[in-house]
Every structure is written in C-alpha cells, then in structure tokens.
Structure 1
C-alpha cells in the first residue's frame, strides 16, 4: 500500500514523530545527536522551524518549507537516519525490519498536518509548547529544556509562566 502525503510547496506543517519503543527516553538522552541530525539536514534541505519540542519518546515540530518545495518526507527520513546512525546498535528489531536492513529506533511513519490559517498555526504552536506539561514532565512549559518555548519567551511572545499549572506552581508542585 502506498502512503500518500499532502505536498504543498512552501507549506507550514505540524508533525508528530515517535520512537518505536514508546517507553524509551532516547530522544532526551541523546538530544545533542538529534540536534546535530536536524542541523545537518537543514543545511542541505532547508526549512524554518516554527516550533519544536522533544520529549523522551516522541517529538512535535512545526516547519515551514521553502517556496517551491513540499517534500517533508525526505527531510524526516534523513533526520531519522542520521540520528539512528549516531546510536550504538542494540535495540530490539522486529524480523520484518531486519529483513529490510532497518533499525528499530523510529516508528516507520510520522503524522503530519498542513496548517490552514493563522489560528490553526497558533493552536498547534501552543500544543507543541504545552506537551511537556500535558505528559507530566514539568509543572510549567518553560521548565522543559527541549522546547522552542524559550525562543518565544525570549522574543516576548509568551510569558515565562505561560501554561503553568497554577495550583501546583503555587504550592511547590504538591497536591
């Protein structure tokens, strides 16, 4: 079965990309390797990062592609491959992947959504930034180190306490 993706040149997309092993912490354990993979791919296949968050077992990103280019799939394939090559072998690999010479680090597919307007984009940027709070990793979004929220705060686009769980933040995280 052929998987079809929307390809809009110059489009802005929201992505969810998961590790194969959802209980893994590989993405935050090896975040520098992931950053290097992204930087390297961006040099040859440019895109603008609108928002990004890296969680232990998955990530969310929003990219805008250059005019005349709608190829997200190649960029993700290259990022995943470069990151995987930086990881020592040892993960569990299913027989179907082994036959194809694949690693067992990433889920094969990724989920994407083409942004339709500014309101859609804003809600997805918020979703990206609230994700560490949603998953219980931190009490306030700005406490998560692997997020583009720090850029937004630095530019004055979001306050430091944006999306803080007020009852927990005030009581020191108890309750």
Structure 2
C-alpha cells in the first residue's frame, strides 16, 4: 500500500523529522543554522510554528499553513537543504544520495499528522514539549533549551513546572 499524505489546505500539522544518523547531535550543535534555515524558508513560504522541540538528532514541530496552502513538503525540503548547506561536508554520502545531489544528513522522509481538533493539538503540544524528558536529556521539560515550552511559559499558557507530573499528561504514543 502506498503512503498517502494528508493534503488539507490551511490545516495544522504535527511533524517528526529525523537525521540520517540517529546518534548525531547536529541539530543542537548547529541550532543557529537550523533557526536560520527555518527563518529563510518562512520568508518565502510563510507558515506559523505553533510549537517545536529540537532534539540532537530529530525534531518535532506543529505548523499552521496559510489558507489555501498545503505544500509542507516543499517547506521541509527547503529547510533540510538550507541546514545542510550551512554545514561542512563531513558525512558519508551513498552513491544513491550522490546521484540525487543529497547530502545524507537527513532521513529522506518525514512523518506528519494532521491535527483534528483542539484536544488533538493540546496532546501533540504536550508530547512535543515532554520529548526531552522522555528521551532522558533532562528531568524537567523546562530545562531543555531548544523547546517552544519557554514561549508558552512567557505567554502565561504554561508554568515552568509543566510536565513534572507525567501521570497527569495525556500524550500520544509516538516514538
């Protein structure tokens, strides 16, 4: 069966995007290059980042696309390319990737989920913000520096102790 992406213009989507080398720390080691890649793409192809967390080797992000626009794949392709171009070539590149002019930094695909309603959004924001704790990088979600949790706290939407009681969180079961 062929995978079909959700294609609803102007929808809100949750994404998981991984590096090829799942032992790498490129995303956090080069966080400024990643931020610049996002900013550059957002200028030409606008979208709102509702929530995001960057881990060393993967990231989760929730985007709201503009009304009438469904092309998140183009945006991810451009973000990946801009980030890759900002890094020195040090990775092993397979002949298959070389033929396609790919660097070999990112996994080719990404995972997306279309957000269905406010409850679904709340669960995915919680999942995303709790991810650094789940992976053992920090004991408290607010201790992870590469998370939109800090903006949620600044806006008064969450407090710094958010996520301390994991049993009260209703999280989706993604890896």
TM over 0.5, shorter chain: yes
Cα drift, residue 63 of structure 1: 0.2
> 2:76 matched to which residue of 1?
76
* CA radius of gyration, larger in: 1
Asked whether the 8 Å contact 1:13–1:115 carries over to 2, the reply is yes
Alignment of 1:137 onto 2:137? yes
Q: Which residue of 1 aligns with 2:110?
A: 110
**Matches of 2:127 and 2:71, distance apart in 1:** 23
Aligned to 1:7: 7
Count of residue pairs brought into register by the alignment: 166
Distance 1:95 1:79 in 2: 23
Distance 1:84 1:165 in 2: 37
Partner of 1:169: none
TM superposition shift of 1:165: 6.2
Residues 16-95 of structure 1 correspond to what in structure 2 (within 5 A)?
A: 16-95=16-95
Structure 1 segments, 4+ long, off by >2 Å, are: 1-4
- Higher mean alpha-carbon deviation, 96-105 vs 112-121, is at 96-105
Comparing 121-130 and 87-96, the one that deviates more: 87-96
Question: Structure 2 length normalisation: TM-score?
Answer: 0.91
Deviations 1:79-113 (A, max 9, x none): 00000000100101122112222111000000000
The two structures have a TM-score, normalised by structure 1, of: 0.91
Q: Secondary structure of the equivalent of 1:103?
A: coil
Residue 8 (structure 1) shift: 0.9
Could you tell me which runs of 5 or more consecutive residues in structure 1 were left unpaired when the two chains were aligned.
167-175
Partner of 2:172: none
1:119 and 1:31 mapped to 2: Cα distance? 30
Per the TM alignment, residue 5 of structure 1 is displaced from its structure 2 partner at its CA by: 1.8
- CA–CA distance in structure 1, aligned partners of residues 16 and 36 of structure 2: 19
